[in-house]
Structure 1
Amino acid sequence: MAKKRGNPNWGKPELNTVPYTGATSFEEVAKRLCLSPQQYGNSAQLRDWVQKNKDHKYVPPGLLELWGLEVKG
């Protein structure tokens, strides 16, 4: 019997994929600074991080609005 050629699973979705549900960079920074969500708006260190990273890392929209920051593009 001739051997079948090609990948028999080509075009089929992988069954064992699990979406990434880890913490965002923002959450990691907030945790490192030992901040609760109620303390986010008053943290100067967190605000500095947000100003540097807001254009390429996730930052909660309410926090951007609170600080009057806008994301480019």
Structure 2
Amino acid sequence: MRPEQQHQNWRSEAGSRLWLSGLIAAMKQAERPDVRRQPVAPEVLLELRAQLALTASFRTARISTLRH
């Protein structure tokens, strides 16, 4: 799904539920012992930290500029 479609979906109640279901599924996958034992590349961790440091409004604006 393209980022702009994801953003539009999050604004609806059904989209919010779909996003939350995806998050829960990802968390369940990540909690599995065999997955947790796998190393994570340092560049992946750096990107994650950078994303988490952004405010929600900046992330939304960034998605908007990426599609134009």
* TM category, shorter: under 0.3
- Provide TM-score, normalisation by structure 1: 0.25
Structure with the largest fraction of helix: 2
